[in-house]
Structure 1
Amino acid sequence: MTSSSDTTRPIVVGVDGSALADAAVLWAAAEADRRGTSLHVVHAFVHLHAVGGYLTVLETADPLEIGGAVCERAARQAREAFPGLTVTTEVRVGRAAPELIKASREATMVVLGARGHGRVTGLLIGSVSQQVAMYAGCPVVVVRGTAERGPVVVGVDGSPASAGALRFAVEHAAATGAAVRAVRAEYVELPMGAPPGDWYSDLVDRSTEATEAARRAVAEAAAEHPAVDIELQVVRRHPEAALVEEAADASLLVVASRGLGGFAGLMLGSVSQGVLSRARATVAVVPGGEEPEHPDDPHVR
């Protein structure tokens, strides 16, 4: 179900003029059109500074003028594909990741290309999409130029965070006519050289309980959306590898930003980051509900 905030808050798409940014624009525009909301196109840049007494000028035109042209080109693409769509543009001065994270505060979702031109001119390098996915206050979709048709694959571990990811996946599938493949990876790692003991049995029990919770969540989602074909696959592999493999034919892979945590956590932030690096499918990272770290965190570059 689409909430009222989904129709009042725009979908933000970051652009840099690259081919994958173009793909992100069209993906975001299609999603905005389905949701009945607007599209907000954002380009961010930083001024070049002299390093070691030297400064190489890569662009002779005004950066604001260049950014405006990049935004207008993207807006034109979106309007041509979806004539009734409301599209706005904005050029921001600042590093791409913090600016897009700030924009996420007032967005339904943020959409990015998987990789852009680079640190100086491109502003949508792979690390930027990972940083935005980690710190954003709304779902982040990282678009790759891959199959538009195929199932929506979602990682589930029985946690409230993965329930949010499942809800996002099912709603997207209902809107696009796709099937949903929920993947539960049962994986309990034994530290090297450590003999199994009561603590290990406890972890196995917790993993089993998490699987049952995942089954219940999938069953509830299927009951709420009877028109959507939803299946659960329980696999005994590391969650990152399992999700990447299961999403080989997917139109979208959905993960929670964080899950249970610890040995049984299986949907950790590190897993979502690994999936972003390895998956060939477009990836949606859904916040787990906890307050994200401050977007001005010094580690966000």
Structure 2
Amino acid sequence: MRTDGPVVIALDGSLLSDRTLEWGLREAERRGADAVLVRAWTEPDEYALGGWFPTLGDTGDDGEAKDYLDAVLARETARRPDLRITSALLHGQVVPELRTQSDDAQLLVVGPGPSRRPGHVAMHLAAHARCPVAVVRDHGESAPGAATGKVGAVVVGVDGSRASLGAAETAARAANARGAVLRLVHARPTSPAPFGPDYVPPLSDNAATDPAHRSARAVAESLLAHHPDLEVETVLVDEDPARAILAAARGAQLVVVGSRGLGAFRGMLLGSVSHEVVRDAACTVLVEHRDED
């Protein structure tokens, strides 16, 4: 995974695509990274043969897709003269083309798809891209806290796995860049995992002796050592982890998850908790992909 590559922003020309574009360009500015605007276009006969993946652009002559990218590039370059923005028209089916783009990117930004709930393309890339993936929702970053004057929190679920600790570091940087609170969520399933211990004792009120409290405190202290100005909240609950993260993310502006954690099925490219959060969160979700082995 590259940390010096561009932020690649996938567009499809829809109204929801405008939100994806705005989020991705802001993120590129925060990171001091170049931005690459991409749109996929598939030859009509290739599409008719019944490929595995849908197209991101229209079938037919690619001139309309190219004109769209050129217009967006000209507009955004004028609006953001300090940000280096380029564009690329991709010829092929959207998932394989975007996955190839993720080889050299530091972040891939995608929209949810035709509806406000992530579709096949977003879910597939969240699992299979070779760099972190942001699935952008239609909510503005400051909209949840507009009534109070506060920006929404950045939420991350931690379970002690390397993937979740990497996600926590990413979330800390994101919270710092946004001037937001970092909310660490540690949730323990109320029912045992199929191949785990038969019984998990409930959380203790004694924060000094309970191992879950100590673990969450250790993560918070480690993050604060690198980000001393960060405000950190911890949420510890006996609850299904996905439901706990989704509850903590109400009113948040961003949720960060590891691609997989300490679940029972280690071979999954996108763990069940992360999959559910990407699918159901009301705000943008960033899936962190790291070398977890």
Same topology, TM > 0.5: yes
Distance in 1 separating the partners of 2:263 and 2:66: 43
Counterpart amino acid of residue 21 in structure 1: S
Is the 8 Å Cα contact of residues 41 and 89 (structure 1) preserved in structure 2? Answer: yes
Is the 8 Å Cα contact of residues 44 and 60 (structure 2) preserved in structure 1? Answer: no
Counterpart amino acid of residue 61 in structure 2: D
Report the Cα offset of residue 99 of structure 1.
1.1
Match of 2:281 in 1: 279
Change beyond 3 A, Cα 1:27–1:76: farther
User: Is 210-219 or 148-157 further displaced after alignment?
Assistant: 210-219
Change beyond 3 A, Cα 1:59–1:166: closer
- SS for the counterpart of 1:245 is helix
Match of 2:145 in 1: none
Match of 2:73 in 1: 75
Any stretches of 5+ residues in structure 1 without a counterpart?
A: 53-57, 118-123, 193-197, 292-301
1:62 aligns with 2:61: yes
Distance in 2 separating the partners of 1:137 and 1:59: 26
Report the Cα offset of residue 249 of structure 1.
0.5
Report the Cα offset of residue 125 of structure 1.
6.7
Counterpart amino acid of residue 62 in structure 1: D
Is the 8 Å Cα contact of residues 35 and 84 (structure 2) preserved in structure 1? Answer: yes
- SS for the counterpart of 1:146 is coil
Query: Cα RMSD between the aligned structures?
Result: 3.2
Give matches, 1:99-178, under 5 Å. Answer: 99-116=97-114, 126-149=119-142, 150-178=152-180
Distance in 2 separating the partners of 1:224 and 1:245: 27
Is the 8 Å Cα contact of residues 118 and 279 (structure 2) preserved in structure 1? Answer: no
Match of 1:13 among 5, 9, 25: 9
- SS for the counterpart of 1:183 is strand
User: Is 28-37 or 78-87 further displaced after alignment?
Assistant: 78-87
Match of 1:31 in 2: 27
Report the Cα offset of residue 76 of structure 1.
3.4
What per-residue deviation string (whole Å, max 9, x for no partner) do you get for residues 140-162 of structure 1?
00111114120001111111111
Distance in 1 separating the partners of 2:75 and 2:180: 25
Distance in 1 separating the partners of 2:289 and 2:141: 24
Identity of aligned residues (%): 35
Q: How many residues align?
A: 267
Change beyond 3 A, Cα 1:258–1:211: farther
Is the 8 Å Cα contact of residues 175 and 230 (structure 2) preserved in structure 1? Answer: yes
What per-residue deviation string (whole Å, max 9, x for no partner) do you get for residues 18-69 of structure 1?
12221111111111112111001111122234479xxxxx968512x12212
Distance in 2 separating the partners of 1:209 and 1:169: 23
Report the Cα offset of residue 127 of structure 1.
1.0
Any stretches of 5+ residues in structure 2 without a counterpart?
A: 51-56, 143-151, 203-209
Counterpart amino acid of residue 128 in structure 1: V
Counterpart amino acid of residue 23 in structure 2: W
What per-residue deviation string (whole Å, max 9, x for no partner) do you get for residues 56-105 of structure 1?
xx968512x12212322332343244221111111111211111111111
- SS for the counterpart of 1:89 is strand
Distance in 2 separating the partners of 1:210 and 1:70: 51
Counterpart amino acid of residue 160 in structure 1: R
Change beyond 3 A, Cα 1:260–1:204: farther
